[in-house]
């Protein structure tokens, strides 16, 4: 079974997505996600200009060989653009293999290790009443694990907080802080770490007081802290028993996590911007983290995330795959198939895609009892509507830039 063609489809049903469609000579079609929020066209070009010509005529079953060929063969290894492009190819080939086998993909990855994948949703509010409404809404929808983000007194807009109360309790703009914004230049936000560190513990105290001890709570610091600030935050949140504290320091420096780890027992998650097993080499071996955040879409695909997770399993580190709306329904479907099969699955991030997006990609999973189950259809279970996708052309969009109050550029 040879690869006959490969098409890169960029569509923007509410936000931009890069999808690779691979077709074999006997007409089997597989899909992969290569969306890189705010830098989508660079992956589209990497695929169209450099990868697609290499795929034509290759054995569609040779997934590992193709992965190594694209990874080692480029000479220039790793990096978000390269690894998103490889992810798209790898995922599409797994989709094809499972379709040919007539099995849902998780069966080829070892079969189900659990009934469903526990997920967490995003609750947010500019202040405590808005946040409580959003948490309540999530509990009513069936979530058992919820990420908590709030505004910080004195700051106009903060990462992770929906812009209006209506959005925070769930219409299609619920996650309006998440997609890169369609504007000529990036929006600018401002930041004050001391104000944030003073405020966050009181938010968790209020949420525990209102909603009790049972619900799993998470928080994302979005790479904004120094190691000692992060250590202080982890320590101050210990009374509220977090499921995890995410991305406390900029991700490039693995050493930073050692300082954080020495000072707090709050579980740590990191890695949504990592793209290979090497980024976790010390973090996992030295048990400096508890959860791996890499999504299939940004870390080289199913083959490569499975390698990371097998390494992590040796050190009791679990998965917590990144699942914002910038991972397309194809990437999410792949995550749920792999998550169902992995022994060391931890939790899956789940932000419901907009209705426009769901119409283009079709339903891919079932949400019940606080968790996701993948489709039982052969492959990933994607029904991509190309005609509809063509009605939503790409629109340039940027993630925001963050500045300290004196104007210094800071991590967003």
Burial of 277 per CB tally in 10 Å (0-12, 13-18, 19+): buried
Name residues contacting Mg ion, limited to 256-295 (CB under 5 A).
272
Contact partner at residue 90 from ligand CS2, Mg ion, none, CB < 5 to 8 Å by partner kind: none
Beta carbon nearer to ligand CS2, 28 or 135: 135
Residue 249 near ligand CS2 by CB under 6 A: no
Positive or negative, the CA dihedral 329, 179, 125, 358 is negative
Residue 349 near ligand CS2 by CB under 6 A: yes
* Phi, psi (rounded to 5 degrees) for 269: -125, 140
Least spacing, CB of residue 22 vs Mg ion, in Å: 30
Burial profile 191-210: b = 16 or more Cβ within 10 angstroms, e = fewer: bbbeebbebbbebbebbeee
Least spacing, CB of residue 349 vs ligand CS2, in Å: 6
Q: Alpha-carbon distance 112 to 116, whole Å?
A: 9
Contact stretch for Mg ion (CB under 5 A) within 139-147, 215-223, 378-386, 395-403:
215-223
| Contact map string, positions 20 to 39, toward Mg ion, x by CB under 5 A | --------------------
Best CA proximity match to 349, nearest among 235, 239, 272: 272
Contact stretch for ligand CS2 (CB under 6 A) within 20-28, 46-54, 194-202, 320-328:
320-328
Beta carbon nearer to Mg ion, 33 or 272: 272
Which residue in 33, 130, 178, 279 binds ligand CS2 (CB under 6 A)? 178
Positive or negative, the CA dihedral 197, 237, 343, 371 is negative
Q: Alpha-carbon distance 386 to 383, whole Å?
A: 9
Helical ranges in 102-255 per DSSP H: 105-108, 128-141, 165-168, 193-211, 227-237
Token pair in block for residue 87: 């992810």
Least spacing, CB of residue 239 vs Mg ion, in Å: 23
Least spacing, CB of residue 322 vs ligand CS2, in Å: 6
Least spacing, CB of residue 246 vs Mg ion, in Å: 5
Residue 272 near ligand CS2 by CB under 6 A: yes
Which residue in 220, 225, 260, 275 binds ligand CS2 (CB under 6 A)? 220
Which residue in 90, 220, 290, 326 binds Mg ion (CB under 5 A)? 220
Contact stretch for ligand CS2 (CB under 6 A) within 64-72, 94-102, 254-262, 322-330:
322-330
Which residue in 30, 324, 346, 381 binds ligand CS2 (CB under 6 A)? 324
Decide the pairing of beta strands 188-191 and 365-368: unpaired
Write down how long the chain is: 412
| Contact map string, positions 76 to 115, toward ligand CS2, x by CB under 6 A | ----------------------------------------
CB 317 within 8 A of CB 344: yes
Contact partner at residue 324 from Mg ion, ligand CS2, none, CB < 5 to 8 Å by partner kind: ligand CS2
CB 43 within 8 A of CB 207: no
Q: CB neighbours (10 Å) of residue 246?
A: 24
Alpha carbon dihedral 274, 276, 277, 279, in 10-degree steps, equals: -40
Least spacing, CB of residue 351 vs ligand CS2, in Å: 7
Residues 6+ apart with CB under 8 A from 75: none
Contacts with ligand CS2 by CB under 6 A: the residue count is 10
| Contact map string, positions 31 to 50, toward ligand CS2, x by CB under 6 A | ------x-------------
Which amino acids are annotated catalytic? 159, 222
Angle between the N-to-C axes of helices 193-211 and 128-141, in degrees from 0 to 180, rounded to the nearest 10? 50
Which residue in 1, 62, 313, 399 binds ligand CS2 (CB under 6 A)? 399
Best CA proximity match to 321, nearest among 339, 300, 303, 301: 339
Contact partner at residue 279 from Mg ion, ligand CS2, none, CB < 5 to 8 Å by partner kind: none
Helix or strand run (H / E) with residue 120: strand 117-125
Beta carbon nearer to ligand CS2, 197 or 399: 399
Residues at the interface with Mg ion (CB under 5 A) = 220, 272
Residues at the interface with ligand CS2 (CB under 6 A) = 37, 178, 220, 222, 272, 322, 324, 326, 349, 399
């Amino acid at each position: 079974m040879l690869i006959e063609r490969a098409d890169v489809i960029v569509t923007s049903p509410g936000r931009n997505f890069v999808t690779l469609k691979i077709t074999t000579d006997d007409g089997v079609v597989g899909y992969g996600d290569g969306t890189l929020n705010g830098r989508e066209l660079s992956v589209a070009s990497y695929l169209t200009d450099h990868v697609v010509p290499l795929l034509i005529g290759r054995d569609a079953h040779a997934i590992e060989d193709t992965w190594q060929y694209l990874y080692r063969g480029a000479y220039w290894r790793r990096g978000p653009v390269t690894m998103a492009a490889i992810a798209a190819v790898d995922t599409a080939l797994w989709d094809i293999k499972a379709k040919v086998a007539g099995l849902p993909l998780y069966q080829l990855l070892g079969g189900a290790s659990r009934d469903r994948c526990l997920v967490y949703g995003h609750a947010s509010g500019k202040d405590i009443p808005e946040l409580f409404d959003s948490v309540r809404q999530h509990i009513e929808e069936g979530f058992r694990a919820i990420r908590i983000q709030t505004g910080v007194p004195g700051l106009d807009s903060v990462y992770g907080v929906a812009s209006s109360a209506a959005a925070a309790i769930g219409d299609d703009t619920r996650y309006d802080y998440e997609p890169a914004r369609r504007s000529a230049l990036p929006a600018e936000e401002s930041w004050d770490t001391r104000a944030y560190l003073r405020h966050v513990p009181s938010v968790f105290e209020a949420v525990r007081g209102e909603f009790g001890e049972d619900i799993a709570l998470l928080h994302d610091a979005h790479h904004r802290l120094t190691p000692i600030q992060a250590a202080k935050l982890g320590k101050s949140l210990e009374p509220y028993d977090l499921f995890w504290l995410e991305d406390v320091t900029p991700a490039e420096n693995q050493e930073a996590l050692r300082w954080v780890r020495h000072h707090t027992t709050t579980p740590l998650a990191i890695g949504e911007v990592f793209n290979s097993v090497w980024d976790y080499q010390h973090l996992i071996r030295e048990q400096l983290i508890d959860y791996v955040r890499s999504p299939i879409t940004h870390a080289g695909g199913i083959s490569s995330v499975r390698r990371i997770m097998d390494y992590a399993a040796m050190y009791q580190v679990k998965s917590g795959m990144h699942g914002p709306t910038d991972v397309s329904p194809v990437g999410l479907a792949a995550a749920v198939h792999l998550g169902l099969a992995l022994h060391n699955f931890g939790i899956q991030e789940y932000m419901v895609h907009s209705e426009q997006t769901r119409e283009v990609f079709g339903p891919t999973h079932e949400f019940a009892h606080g968790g996701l189950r993948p489709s039982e259809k052969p492959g990933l279970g994607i029904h991509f509507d190309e005609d509809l996708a063509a009605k939503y052309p790409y629109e340039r969009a940027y993630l925001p830039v963050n500045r300290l109050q004196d104007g210094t550029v800071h991590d967003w």
